Chain A
């Protein structure tokens, strides 16, 4: 039996039910031919939405554009997300 003092949440990482990708206006598109694998996009993403193989998780990407702004070779374009 568990006793709750205040509010207890027993499911770690449960914000995953909230697909923040729906917030997005602009969508980052990576051109892998240009990519120099510097890891900037991976390490600076506040959502952790870019993995170490540079795959972008559009379920959660809020479209902030940090990845595109920090890319040293302009390999990530921000496009209107319809």
Chain B
């Protein structure tokens, strides 16, 4: 793939070494280009890119509260429309906390009203910015500071909320899952999302060196393992039509993914088996 040359996220931002969230934005903006307005919910991304009085953004950027990125993106889209600027890409970014938990109602409203915008959830599966607290997107068995593993607990005891399918239930024209380890696939999806007339939603898996507990150099490798084990499926739903966009030739055992991260290292055989069963069911359901 010939990657667009331009960059719209400046270096000097405060993301950790090996930060996947920075890469999500870098790739998404490379694809959407200069003609983009960005809205971001509170979260790691906002904190690391806008240490006042500096900003890493090189497109117009608005940070709003945790819960209203969807509402503000709706307003921006309507304001641009009123000015006759309908060719501008409106992209909202939110982490899993800002999207799956706190911002869910405003995203739902934006999708329901049919605004011409793209919402990208960068999912690192916990509240990383505030100190690794569990979110609705934390997978079963993960140890976080509010679902710690120990003698009486194996960690998070609830399943991960299936946000892409919640978005699909809104009947919007474009929904996709993605991974930072598959940049061509992700950028192709950003292209489709921004070209879609109406709301589009992308849910991207973003390994977090600090919160998941692995060496910064492994960010991409672990994202790839997530996909290769079937833990993180890559698909899109275009006008109601479901399509798997990447199918591992042979799925690796999920234990390879789990053992690569500190948040899962406490899991015993029984728990690993339960997660493998969950992944097998998910893959069967999705046809992977």
Contact = CB atoms under 8 A, between A and B. Distances in A.
Contact of B56 (A15, A57, A63): A15
Contact of A14 (B15, B55, B183): B55
B58 A65 contact: no
Contact of A13 (B5, B10, B220, B221): B10
B11 interface: yes
B217 A64 contact: yes
Interface string A42-72: 1111111100100001011011111011100
Contacts of A65: 18, 215-217
Nearest to B49: A15
A70 B52 CA distance: 33
The size bracket of the interface on B is 35 or more
Nearest to A44: B220
A54 to B, nearest CB: 13
Interface residues of A, number: 36
B107 to A, nearest CB: 22
A60 B50 contact: no
Q: Which of A23, A52, A57, A70 has the most CB of B within 10 A?
A: A70
Contacts of B177: none
A18 B15 CA distance: 12
Contacts of A32: none
Interface string B25-65: 01100000000000000000000011111111111000000
6 contacts: A18-B12, A19-B12, A20-B13, A46-B20, A52-B3, A64-B209
